[in-house]
Chain A
Amino acid sequence: AQTVTQSQPEMSVQEAETVTLSCTYDTSESDYYLFWYKQPPSRQMILVIRQEAYKQQNATENRFSVNFQKAAKSFSLKISDSQLGDAAMYFCAYRSENQGGKLIFGQGTELSVKP
Chain B
Amino acid sequence: DVKVTQSSRYLVKRTGEKVFLECVQDMDHENMFWYRQDPGLGLRLIYFSYDVKMKEKGDIPEGYSVSREKKERFSLILESASTNQTSMYLCASSYPQGVNYGYTFGSGTRLTVV
Known: A44-B105, A44-B107, A45-B105. A102 touches B33 (CB 8 A): yes
* Tier of interface size on chain B: 20 to 34
Residue from A43, A50, A91, A101 within 8 A of B107 (CB atoms): A43
Contact with A along B34-70 (1 / 0, CB 8 A): 0100001111110010100000101000000000000
Q: Which residues of A contact B98 (CB under 8 A)?
A: 97
Stretch of A11-19, A64-72, A79-87, A104-112 lying at the B interface: A104-112
Interface hub of B40, B44, B48, B102 (most chain A Cβ within 10 A): B102
A103 on the interface (CB 8 Å rule)? yes
Q: Which residues of B contact A33 (CB under 8 A)?
A: 100, 102
Q: Which residues of B contact A45 (CB under 8 A)?
A: 90, 92, 103, 105
A100 on the interface (CB 8 Å rule)? yes
Residue from B48, B95, B102 within 8 A of A47 (CB atoms): B102
Known: A97-B97, A108-B42. A102 touches B102 (CB 8 A): no
| Residues of A bordering B, CB below 8 Å | 4, 6, 9, 33, 35, 37, 42-45, 47, 50, 52, 91, 93, 95, 97-98, 100-108
